[in-house]
Chain A
């Protein structure tokens, strides 16, 4: 398996634009997590899914952020409209049951 795949690896966008981050979890994994990492706040859990259903989105910072998982092999994290303070590295992770989580390489988002 190629592991958790995130795209794009880097994204630079202007303030106010819509940004969509994508994640392909490892096949057979039933949990998917979205994290955000900044120097100031460290690694924050934004939302996680079980069997494509959002279970806990209490970490989503505000209504500008939304996440979907239309099927077991794909998830998106959307920011609309984006702001400079959204600049961060966004990680996607997946696992099966209560086993080790595998993280993607991350998407480095810069909002100018």
Chain B
């Protein structure tokens, strides 16, 4: 399986943008880039996913490098509720294999 590398933790101030990086140098042509997050004491929840082009939805934006070897999840205005573990996952289909993720802490 193609692996991803994420920082263990990041800190942000409330109402500021947050850029969460993910490296995936061994990505294959059929791998989608998925982002999920896990709030404390909850199951993971979907954030966004993409293949080649940048993607936007109501929660976040996903910026994908031209060579697809890295991507960045962008939260445009962090709130306290965005404090969670964010997982970057590569998968050509349905099977999601979670790594360690990035623990995002948001300071008021």
Bound complex: CA of A101 vs CA of B99, how far in Å? 16
Q: Mark A83-112, 1 if CB is under 8 A from B, else 0.
A: 000000001010101101111111000000
Is the beta-carbon distance between A98 and B93 smaller than 8 angstroms? Answer: yes
* A60 interface residue per 8 A CB criterion: no
Bound complex: CA of A44 vs CA of B100, how far in Å? 11
Q: Chain A nearest CB: distance from B98 CB in Å?
A: 4
Residues of A53-100 whose CB lies within 8 A of B: 56, 91, 93, 95, 97-98, 100
Beta-carbon nearest neighbor of B96 in chain A:
A101
Q: Chain A nearest CB: distance from B62 CB in Å?
A: 13
Q: Mark B73-108, 1 if CB is under 8 A from A, else 0.
A: 000000000000001000001111111110000000
* B43 interface residue per 8 A CB criterion: yes
Q: Is the interface of A mostly helix, strand, loop or mixed?
A: strand
Within 8 Å CB of B87, what residues of A?
43
Is the beta-carbon distance between A42 and B46 smaller than 8 angstroms? Answer: no
Q: Is the interface of B mostly helix, strand, loop or mixed?
A: loop
Interface range on chain B: under 10, 10 to 19, 20 to 34, or 35 or more?
10 to 19
The one of B94, B99, B101 that contacts A95, using a Cβ cutoff of 8 Å: B94
Is the beta-carbon distance between A48 and B95 smaller than 8 angstroms? Answer: yes
* B45 interface residue per 8 A CB criterion: yes
* A91-B43, A106-B43 known; A43-B98 Cβ under 8 A: yes
Within 8 Å CB of B46, what residues of A?
100-102
Q: Chain A nearest CB: distance from B33 CB in Å?
A: 13
Is the beta-carbon distance between A91 and B44 smaller than 8 angstroms? Answer: yes
Within 8 Å CB of A101, what residues of B?
36, 44, 46, 94, 96
Bound complex: CA of A97 vs CA of B95, how far in Å? 11
- A and B contact pairs by CB, cutoff 8 A, 30 listed: A31-B94, A33-B94, A33-B96, A35-B98, A42-B98, A42-B100, A43-B98, A44-B98, A45-B96, A48-B94, A50-B94, A56-B95, A91-B43, A91-B44, A93-B43, A95-B94, A98-B32, A98-B93, A100-B46, A100-B49, A101-B36, A101-B44, A101-B94, A101-B96, A102-B45, A103-B43, A103-B45, A104-B43, A105-B42, A106-B42
